[in-house]
Structure 1
Amino acid sequence: MNDDRAGQIAVIFVSIRNDADAAGYGEAAVAMDALAATQPGYRGVDSAREAGGMGITVSYSADDAAAIAWRHHPEHTAIRERGRALWYDSYSVKVARIERAYQWTRA
C-alpha cells in the first residue's frame, strides 16, 4: 500500500459476488487490472474479498478526469455490463478525494 495518496481520487467499489462463472470472473479481473495500470492517471489499487462473496476494491487516480476516463473506457464498460449480467448480485461505488493517508507496518 502506498501512504502518499493525498490529493488522489479514490474510487471505492463494494460488491457482492455470486458463484457464477468463477473462472471467467478471474480472467476478467486480471485483464482489467492490467488494462487499468496502462491508463493515464492510474495510481494503483487495493482489493480484498471474503469467502462469502463481499469484496472491496479501491482504485486510485491522479485526478477526477482520470477516474472518469477509466469509467468510460470501452473495455471497462463492456466488463462492467458483463459483471451486472453474470457475476454480481449487487455493488456500490463511492468516489472521494483523499485528504490524508497513513500507514503502519510491524517491523
Structure 2
Amino acid sequence: MNLGPLPSVAAAAVPAEGFVLDVREDDEWAAGHVEGALHIPMSDFVARYGELTEALAEQDGRVYVMCRVGGRSAQVTQYLVRQEIDAVNIDGGMQAWDGAGRPMVTDNGSPAFVL
C-alpha cells in the first residue's frame, strides 16, 4: 500500500483550535508544550492508543502530530494515516513552533522552553 508523501504542515500554519498530539517524552513535555495538546509519548503510543481514539471521538478534523524536530512525529503520523486517521506532521516540531513565536505553557507555571 503506497500512502504517498507524508502529510505535513508548517508550525505557523497550525490553526489555534487545531488538535495537537505531542509524542515527546515526559521531560520534554514538562519543559514546554502547546496548551490543550494531548500528550502520549511515542514510547507509550501503542499501549495508550485508546486515549487518542477517545479524544478523537470528541474532535472534528485532523490531528497535528508534534515532537521536538519532526522525526518521531513523522513516524506516528505515518502510523495514524495507515489507520485512516486524518493526521499531519508538524514540520520542525516544537523547535519550529517556538521559532514561529507560537505560545507554549508548562504545567507548573514556570517559563516554557523547548528541551
TM-score by length of 2: 0.28
Q: Which protein has the larger Cα radius of gyration, Structure 1 or Structure 2?
A: 1
Which protein has greater RCO, CA pairs closer than 8 Å, 6+ apart?
1
Task: Compare the two structures and name the one with the higher strand fraction.
Answer: 1
Tell me the TM-score normalised to structure 1 length.
0.29
